[in-house]
Homo-oligomer: A and B are copies of this chain.
């Protein structure tokens, strides 16, 4: 079978990952703003997932040297490429779940 397909699903299949990407499709967000939209997810879980997504080059973390420091997360080009995936999953879910 196709290793590229497995590579894609390995990341997307993790719990919360799709939801985090969906929130970030709405534009750059701070940690707290992401958390507010997925309240059932623990801080530790969100931190772990964000690190994985950053490592996979799906999200980018930007630090703005303001006072207090502002840290924002946004999708990279690779991450924005997931929009059709997220949308097709959602369409299917609305019809069938």
Query: A interface vs B, CB < 8 Å?
Result: 1-10, 12-15, 18-19, 22, 37-38, 40, 78, 81-82, 84-85, 87-97
Cβ 8 A contact of A5, one of B1, B3, B9, B90: B90
Cβ 8 A contact of A13, one of B15, B37, B78, B94: B15
Please state the number of chain copies in the assembly.
2
Q: Given the complex, which residues of B lie within 8 Å of A84, measured CB to CB?
A: 88, 91-92
User: How far does the alpha carbon of A37 sit from the alpha carbon of B5 in the complex, in Å?
Assistant: 14
Chain B nearest CB from A76 CB (Å) reads 10
Q: Given the complex, which residues of B lie within 8 Å of A6, measured CB to CB?
A: 19, 93
**Chain B minimum-CB-distance residue to A19:** B1
